[in-house]
Amino acid sequence: MRRHQYTITARAIHDHAAQLCQQHLGLADHGPKCTARTLLTILFYAAARLTSLAAACGSLSAGPSDSAVRTALLATLPALHELQRRINRALHGDLPPGLRRRRQPLAIDLTLIPYHGAPLADPGEVYRGQAKDGTSHFHAYATAYVIKKGHRYTVALAYVRQGDDLAGVVKDLLRQASRAGIRPRYLLLDRGFYQVGVIRYLQAARCPFLMPAPAKGRPADHPQGPSGTRVFRLWKRGGWSRHTLTAGDGRRAAVSICVKCRNYAGQWRRRGRQALVYAFWGLAPKSGDWVYQTYRLRFGIETTYRQLREARIRTCTRDPLLRLLYVGVALVLRNVWVWLHWAVLAEPRRGGRRVDLNRLPFRVMLSWIQQLVEARLLPWDALFARRPMPA
């Protein structure tokens, strides 16, 4: 049987990503030099170089200035909620039909981008969290991610403000995923979603979930003994139990508990037993090993955030609209990368396609886009290299 041969070029990747963004983001021309196509090209170039728009424009002699690009973006971009809706539509653009036929496991998490500055217009724009990278202020974004080999797409993005109810954030992400035709088989959540409001919403929506149960309650050395989920962390053997959470307003939620015990085996120079405590609902796990191995699949979303950092345009702007755009562009480029491996680079075989992500690493794809843009818009370095050496 003859196999069709395809040649992937940087131009084809760039044009596909530009067409996808233009179709759903709907950027408009802003003058003869700041056309929608040029704006997308400069955004891709800044994302590939991991630099700011000002540095990207300064490196391209045939492109518009950074002030012109910024003015054009602010003039053509819609309001924040509308931009979020358009970015989600762009994330849905390359989803294969097979994802819509069956329910898929989804992972939901928050990514916090450190922010050193004051809010632009509303204090709620800046999210407060545990300190990292020298700050406790962040711009927060929640994403939903499909956990399926070869189809690890980001299917929903939500901008999270300070004080937003996490149950509402989860509801928004599931609504965006459902608009793409993605139905959750179960959710794998981070420990930050271990809240009465989130659990009650998922139970009311009949959506199974699995998440770690953080240690809460009295510690083991308390005179009255341990309480809450700290009791389960003292177990030396795995098992099953039930636990009821109580919120500050008196609301309660009951979950099932799975305790998976294992030896530290030299981790962090510690010895003894380690108890991993998981809370779940709507699932019928066969064993503690199944719970442990299933939840490990959630860490694929951490790879998504690592790749997000590899393609996010650097900025010091206070405008949350531009920051959301930069995060959206990075996630769309990553979805294009996933689509290329499934639709073009995968090897057909009996039992399913074989996907090898090493055939085109994400950074290599971005470097292709960078070289293409430099060939089109002629960087200053090329101009200096063409000048003759002085005698």
Which pLDDT score is estimated for 267? 61
With b meaning 16 or more CB within 10 Å and e meaning fewer, what string describes 45-82?
bbbbbbbbbbebbebbeebbebebbbebbeebbeebee
Q: Tell me what pLDDT residue 381 has.
A: 57
Low-confidence ranges of the chain (pLDDT < 70): 1-6, 265-270, 379-391
CA distance 62 to 60: 6
Residue 168's Cβ-count burial label (10 Å; 0-12, 13-18, 19+) is middle
Res 133: pLDDT:
85
Token digits for 10? 């940087």
Helices (H), 103-221: 166-179, 196-204
One DSSP character per residue, 269-297 reads G--SEEEEEEEEES---S-HHHHHHHHHG
pLDDT of residue 272: 73
Long-range contacts of 131-139 (CB under 8 A, 24+ apart): 138/112, 138/113, 138/114, 139/112, 139/113, 139/115, 139/320, 139/323
Task: Give me the pLDDT at residue 266, please.
Answer: 62
- Over its C-alpha atoms, the chain yields an Rg (Å, rounded) of 24
Can you give the pLDDT at residue 386? 47
Name the helix (H) or strand (E) containing 10.
helix 10-25
* pTM (two decimals): 0.90
d(CA 303, CA 300): 5
Give the model's pLDDT for residue 384.
55
Contacts of residue 35, Cβ cutoff 8 Å, sequence gap at least 6: 29
Please name the amino acid found at residue 12: A
Beta bridge partners of 257: 241, 279
pLDDT at 172: 96
